[in-house]
Chain A
């Protein structure tokens, strides 16, 4: 690794002009007496433009700048889980010890703890003298209670295995093996390796997504499903619920690992995760949620340039766990802030803006980022996935703005949040008209196999009822409710049941916050059964009021927060009570009819 020194010529906020012949584009630099972190973003003859990840206040022209000989990279190895890093992978808990409550500048700390001992178990298949291929598994380390960390040959190395350490406790910097490369040189292997964040990690081939990511959120799983390895976006105006949707997925999804990137958002939202996840139980493994979670934090008050880096730092770590055969979910809140960071830098470089000040390469950068999601067969043959879920924060809530518009072209699942629903406190405020999922057919196979062969039909019926509801509401607004027939008024009641009893789901309610697929389907089934049976009665001439006045109706509306996912039988019982009540009404009505005739 060669270090080259040059000098600073100009400082313009986070962008500096330096003179450093021989520096490469993309290379990392240490800036000025303070040793700030930065990266070369353009070369112009002997000068180079550098973006600084830290505030440049106090830096002067003439101060030295040092080229570090490598692009922005992350450390990948055991100890990532449970941590919180900043946008360039500095461990924030260690930074806290080094510089106090406020983040100091020029602090260079390794991402991973060098002192901690890890119990390494070599892979029996890795025999001395055998040839190891890139990404091959050489051993295991129990990283957290649930995650076994698989130690891999770095993706860009291969060769003959000269040595492999026996089972035992090792620090990250201890060599655990040695490879003889094809050029005859030998390379030590450690429990971790580095990887440049802007280079996607290689894999053997892409696979199709097969199973849905279960999030426990009814409107997502039942109405707009996302597959493991899929890409989705959550756009919405401020306060509509993007962060809550993402945090709910971080809590309840059936992924192996969750990486949450707070990109230009609030400090307190990360604290919320940091304080609650160590207490919360993973509904699948029963262990603490924090044991599968990793946070990357570039809060909105941290330097803009590191914001651009933060999502690459996040996705590279996600790919690393994918290569170990895990299903990883990457949540990026918010990709708009990342795009704005791009805009900020391009503006300072004097590049021609095309739309709303964004540079022409916005669309291609977004696409390239989302392309890193997917279900793949890794170099070592394992199958893993990265599911990417990006929040989008359109100015003024206008979905036609460039970031939302371009994102919509790329993703497969679109969870559109609406201000009207949020204002009416219909949460999650996901608008069923503006949202879509291209995964319904694939997800249906899973649902039909695991839960009920009726899933797709019931889903379609519910959406149809909601569409009728919108139509009828328009009529009511023109001519008043009296113009509706009983059957139509019952349709409105049916849609209200779907909205209140199925779609609305409070993240704050201890019971309702998570619904198993079974519970999701039962609630849907119950509301539609009430609607179907009721419609028959209304056809016979029974009044809508008689049905809405049934005390049972309030119980149906409350069922989601009354019965947990473990109490699905009680939902079945309630459904049965409805059947009986309706049958009774039908009988009484028949008697009454007989009597009056």
Chain B
């Protein structure tokens, strides 16, 4: 079920929408918390792939303010646990993701984002 780790990797791909198309703005979310196994090695390894500013923006959009605004240089245990929670334990069961550039809305329902475009050339 979609979590912020995934949201951090999604950009609008509507035709011609190539700048300012990330991060998608989260609204009308219904959240669920589900525990996940804490794995510090995974978090350290994955973090270089995370866009920090987008993560902060998204976490605030869904009402979590636990992470520091600036990307931290040191990853201590506390911070890793916070990251674990924000990236992996908060599930977005319902909601909308809106492109900041073209306004296209991608819905999330039953925890699954629908990223298809209703265009002719679907693929």
A and B form one complex? no
